[in-house]
Amino acid sequence: MGQKTILLITDGIGFNASDKFNAFANAKKPAYDYLFKNVPNTLLRTSGLAVGLPQGQMGNSEVGHMTIGSGRILYQNLVKIDRAIDEGSLEKNEALQSLLSKCRRVHVIGLYSDGGVHSHLRHFDAICEIAQNAGCETWAHAITDGRDVSPSSGVEFLKHLQAKFKVASVCGRFYAMDRDKRFDRVKRAYDVLMGETAPLEISPSRYILQSYERGVSDEFIEPAS
């Protein structure tokens, strides 16, 4: 009977040659210390081109697990969509064009940041532009991030969005992207999308600035339209 092999993944542990401000290097970890000293070991790159992401793009749990499990580089959706935009194949997509040909008004909703984990604002913008080019009245519903990017970067992202498209609503991912089965959170986002709340009397970017002043960061921006 051959020797058994264990694939053990410890989330969140990275390597840094310096032990300054390095919790892992300074922790008491006799098992790891023994392994590093006594058994063959190497390092894996977990970001950028090494895992099928754009150069300089940070990795994430899903990408890391997929790459380790497959044992090869798999181009991620972020790269595939970027290429589809650059090559023009996204705009020529038959299913998308068939949909747009039947629409007079299009609402685009998604996480609006350059985090690149669940979404990227470049893809959001591209869909809006394609809808506009097809003659559709286009409205953007922005979900603010604050987790995969700086917690107060949303206002600049919204200014960018407002300069290009009509913004119909804004909402923190805490509400619109809840994954803890808290329907009370999701319902608040849903009610805004369905027009069940009073409309904002200020611009979305100004609304976010006012939220910052109350100590509310991007992830927790209360749904508003």
**CA gap 125, 135 in Å, rounded:** 16
Integer CA distances (angstroms), 108 to 9, 92, 129, in order = 37, 18, 11
Mean pLDDT over residues 99-128, rounded? Answer: 97
Q: What is the pLDDT of residues 34-47, one digit of tens each?
A: 999 999 999 999 99
Q: What is the pLDDT of residues 158-173, one digit of tens each?
A: 999 999 999 999 999 9
CB 155 within 8 A of CB 208: yes
Q: Let me know whether 71 and 151 are in one domain.
A: no
Q: What is the pLDDT of residues 18-64, one digit of tens each?
A: 999 999 999 999 999 999 999 999 999 999 989 999 888 889 888 99
Structural domain total, the chain: 2
> Which of 75, 103, 135 is the C-terminal boundary of a domain?
75
The residue annotated as part of the active site, out of 18, 47, 61, 101, is 61
61 catalytic per annotation: yes
Question: Tokens in use for 18?
Answer: 């310096």
Q: Please, which pLDDT band fits residue 88 given cuts at 50, 70 and 90?
A: very high
Q: Let me know whether 71 and 81 are in one domain.
A: no
Q: With respect to residue 225, please indicate whether it lies within any of the assigned structural domains.
A: no
With a cut of 70, say whether residue 141 has pLDDT above it.
Answer: yes
> Which of 25, 47, 75 is the C-terminal boundary of a domain?
75
CB 90 within 8 A of CB 96: yes
- pTM for the predicted model, two decimal places: 0.79
Question: Tokens in use for 144?
Answer: 């603010």
Q: Let me know whether 176 and 143 are in one domain.
A: yes
